[in-house]
Amino acid sequence: MLNEIYGTTSNDTISGSRGNDNLSGGSGNDFLFTGDGYNFLFGGDGNDSLKSSTGNDFHSGGNGNDTVSYDTILDLDISANLQTGKAIIPGALDETITNFENLITGGGNDSLVASNIANVLQGGLGDDIIGGGNGSNFASYTGKSDEFEITLNDDETITVEDLNTSNGDEGTDTLTNISQVLFGDRTSIDRNRTRSTVNGIAGVHNSTDNTDTSSSISEYLYIRLHSLLFYYQS
């Protein structure tokens, strides 16, 4: 039996059951999360967050600035690709993820791939591989910039290492084709414009200068994107 739950024009929080669910947020900025079973989640209009916990689901963000999150999956290595619209979770059927601008994974050593529009990618805990597409792509971290060591490598990749593991170990990530790295204190590294950086605990390697790039565009991104990402993780 398929349980169907529909949201309103307001900002709704809709939780799935233990069975198979069809959840639709409607308009408004909605939060949808699944239970067990084989589920269909549709964000609709607005800036929505859709969260999966077990796999086997179909997710569609709809219109707006939408986020698909796997941050409650702490012990599995997830491969999620916004370009192909697929997420692979060990032990579950592949998930379909379409019409999303933001992607969050959990505690494993995950692989995140952006689409060809502007995306924000957050790998969470573990050692993650984060790849951008043809758009302006951003890697997001919850910690402060001075808790990380950042290396700009000769092969154009960026290594971001979390040196403060006391508040959750975001691991050592490898970034490819990422335009900007965003931190929880609203500082950022903008590679494409100036290759400028902010200093981490152990410094930043292979940069041309150490300018703080907390510009108006960075401030906009944190107000617009981080409020969306972190609200739905609380």
pLDDT above 70: residue 196: no
Host H or E run for residue 158: strand 158-162
- Judged against a pLDDT cut of 50, whether residue 230 lies above it is answered with no
The arithmetic mean of pLDDT across residues 18-29, rounded, is 92
Contact (CB, 8 A) for 226 and 182: yes
Dihedral in degrees, nearest 10, Cα atoms 67, 125, 227, 26: 20
Q: Is the dihedral of CA 189, 191, 196, 200 positive or negative?
A: positive
Residue whose entry in the numeric block shows the structure tokens 């669910």:
21
End-to-end CA, the chain: 31
Asked if residue 166 lies in contact with residue 201, where contact means CB atoms within 8 angstroms, the answer is no
Q: Is pLDDT larger for residue 82 or for residue 230?
A: 82
Longest Cα–Cα distance of the chain, Å, equals 60
**Exposed/middle/buried for 230, CB within 10 Å: 0-12, 13-18, 19+?**
middle
pLDDT at 211: 38
Query: In Å, how far are 98, 109, 114, 197 from 134, measured between CA atoms?
Result: 17, 24, 8, 22
Residue-level length of the chain: 234
Residues 6+ apart with CB under 8 A from 119: 82, 100, 101, 102, 103, 132, 133, 135, 137, 138
pTM of the model: 0.82
Predicted confidence (pLDDT) per residue in 59-97, tens digit: 999 999 999 999 989 889 999 999 999 999 998 889 999
